[in-house]
Structure 1
């Protein structure tokens, strides 16, 4: 995947500002296309997002969102608002250039590095510029080059791709601004800054909002085959709400949707029953919809999840429990190096120690 960098962001800033200035003589008090905000309020919101992204990344803020508010003087003309967007976009580009690849900062959609913040900035610029100019009569504007594809690849790995509309049409559909044949228009959507890549799949964390929707019978913001979501995924999603109610919810240590890259369908769930216990042990579980079984996707999903988990300092062992007669699940765990650790009424227990545990023991 080609990362979104400052040059692509700079290009998007220039194109967006040029488009906004071209309609600066029109009435910006009308609603932006598809939004409740006016065109003016949408542009001020855009400038606030870009400035906030720049501040988060420049400050390497990891604990939450900075208490920052960006506004414009009440009678600022549209040309001045376009200047505000340009300045805030250039600030973000500077922050992206300055940040090393290991820099991370907080965002509600997951922590991100400079490429993630560049992609978020480009997404806000492209989409909200479209909202404004579309409302003012320019219905064919879109960013040039591969901007939309870069945004999709970085932030929307779960979104189906449009054949006829190309990357821009796919991005509009992913954000509820257009339709894709055979699929309902998105009413709620989000992007994923920290999706976990695997071979043939990508894992997207099922956060509290998506989990509540799945538990209630919805799709959680994903596109599923006709036989999904599975019961296991819905049950795991319900546990997210329960954990949140009792104060035990930990981002990253819950369920993830398994998205098949070939068609961007969610084909199952994989995840943790909770954060590691005081001994550093965490339990994993997974399920696939019937139509996706026997393809190796469960193995690759669990491999990707385990790779992320063992990158966290709190984890020492992964555990799993499988029913005695579930031979495919036994095979998945065996392929990944889990070893049997006994059995009980709930099934056969497996464990996978931290890969470097043996080295640590030898050195002690």
Structure 2
């Protein structure tokens, strides 16, 4: 998800909307309180705001500006503004350095360039549909764009099994229609990847889209230390990919990339085998590059990840299962506040519990 996908979404939106520039854009867009022209202005406003957030490096609020169409602007003008603002966001996404995040209110208060790209694509696809629906124009974007948007912004949603159904699933995920066996959603919200600071390391949530790339032998969009990604990371990515395809993946309770703050190089992976069970227990695991071991990275990251998890109401304790001969890993969990408990099938078990 990036500049290429934004360019494709802009081109699609412009093509659809230009077929309707001779129609009456003063009517309300489908399902919205705005007119079609106001909806187009909203799209352009969102897109340029996303670009402004990234270039301004906003940390705790929106950059205080907005755009408005000139008085007397019509539908053809609106399409031109969407193309112009879309080009701005595409350029900003392409040139934003790795690791830069900017304010967005949900769910964690920030997003990276990939997240803003995905949100821009979503704005373009969905509001083009709203306008087209009101004007009686056909609008169905490329299935690959819909699939990518779902995988980046709606990781908790069961994806469509057929490419032809991706668009319908995205419309359902955003409360625009019902699907067989899935009633129309009255409330919805997309998900931007979580990032947890851990001193010299930052834990960056791996989305189902990035996990699929890792499982297929790619990099997941990350810059890896020599020799990476590693077997444990790719295995974890396969687990996330399967969980997502089955509709049981839960954002934030999957895998995180361990990224070195100083150079944005990924040195390993860490995360959970799934969300907490009915007793509030979640199992942790991690995989660190040989060249990055012995520097305290894993203990710092595990400590921060554990603090984040145990502050969540659904988690009461975390569990680490380690082979008896793996003394280095045992030292990592001990430094991160875990204590030895009863063995699990000849494997050493360590736990860290939430404090009252």
The answer to whether the superposition gives a TM-score over 0.5 is yes
- The answer on 1:83 being equivalent to 2:80 is yes
8 A contact 2:156–2:247 mirrored in 1: yes
The reply to whether residue 124 of structure 1 matches residue 123 of structure 2 is yes
| Alignment map for 1:102-251 (pairs within 5 Å) | 102-109=99-106, 110=108, 111-138=110-137, 140-144=138-142, 146-163=144-161, 165-195=164-194, 196-197=205-206
* 2:282/2:317 contact within 8 Å kept: no
How much has 1:316 moved relative to structure 2?
9.8
What displacement does 1:74 show? 3.5
- Pairwise CA distance, 1:351: 4.1
In 2, are the aligned partners of 1:112 and 1:193 still within 8 Å (CA)? yes
Secondary structure at the aligned position of 2:102 is classed as coil
Counterpart Cα distance in 1 of 2:43 and 2:167: 19
Matched-pair contact (CA < 8 Å) for 2:158–2:245: no
Provide Cα deviations, 1:98-154, integer angstroms capped at 9, x if missing partner: 21222221211242222221111111001100110111001x312225111111111
- Distance of aligned partners of 1:63 and 1:311 in 2 relative to their CA distance in 1, 3 Å threshold: farther
Aligned residues: 260
Q: Structure 1 residues 317, 180: closer, same or farther in 2, change over 3 A? A: closer
Which consecutive unaligned segments of at least 5 residues does structure 2 have?
Answer: 195-204, 212-241, 255-271, 288-296, 311-315, 323-328, 342-349
| Offset from partner CA, 1:68-112 (integer Å, 9 cap, x none) | 222113421111111111111111111112212222212112422
The aligned residue for residue 265 of structure 1 is 248
Q: Secondary structure at the match of 1:172?
A: helix
Contact 2:317-2:352 within 8 A present in 1 as well? no
| Distance in 2 of aligned mates of 1:100 and 1:80 | 32
Cα RMSD (Å): 4.1
CA change 1:174–1:333 in 2 (3 A) is same
Q: TM-score, normalised by structure 2?
A: 0.61
Tell me the alpha carbon deviations over residues 214-253 of structure 1, each in whole angstroms, 9 at most, x when there is no partner. Answer: xxxxxxxxxxxxxxxxxxxxxxxxxxxxxxxxxxxxxxxx
Displacement of 1:166 after TM fit? 2.1
CA contact (8 A) 2:9 2:145 kept: yes
TM-score by length of 1: 0.60
Equivalent-residue separation in structure 2 for 1:288 and 1:48 (angstroms): 42
CA contact (8 A) 1:320 1:350 kept: no
For residues 54 and 319 of structure 1, do their structure 2 counterparts lie closer, same or farther at Cα, with a shift above 3 Å needed?
Answer: closer
Q: 1:130 to 1:318 in 2, by over 3 A?
A: closer
Gaps of 5+ in 1: 203-258, 272-283, 322-328, 344-348, 353-364
Match among 91, 94, 99 for residue 91 of structure 2? 94
> Alpha carbons of 1:106 and 1:308: their partners in 2 closer, same or farther (altered >3 Å)?
farther
Structure 2 CA distance for partners of 1:41 and 1:318, relative to 1, 3 Å: closer
Displacement after TM superposition at 1:341 (Å): 4.6
Distance in 2, matches of 1:117 and 1:71, equals: 21
Q: 1:124 to 1:309 in 2, by over 3 A?
A: farther
Matched residue of 1:66: which SS?
Answer: coil
Task: Say whether the 8 Å CA contact 2:54–2:102 is kept in structure 1.
Answer: yes
Q: Please point out which of 249, 267, 276 is paired with 1:287.
A: 276
- Alpha-carbon offset, residue 10 of structure 1: 0.8
Q: Is the 8 A contact 1:40 1:78 kept in 2?
A: yes
Classify 1:320/1:153 alpha carbon distance in 2 versus 1 (closer, same or farther; 3 Å): closer
Contact 1:267 1:288 in 2 (8 A): no
Residue 220 (structure 2) aligns with: none
Residue 17 of structure 2 corresponds to: 20
Q: Secondary structure at 2:129's aligned position in 1?
A: helix
Shift of 1:267: 7.0
Please report how far the alpha carbon of residue 265 of structure 1 lies from its aligned counterpart in structure 2 after TM superposition.
Answer: 3.4
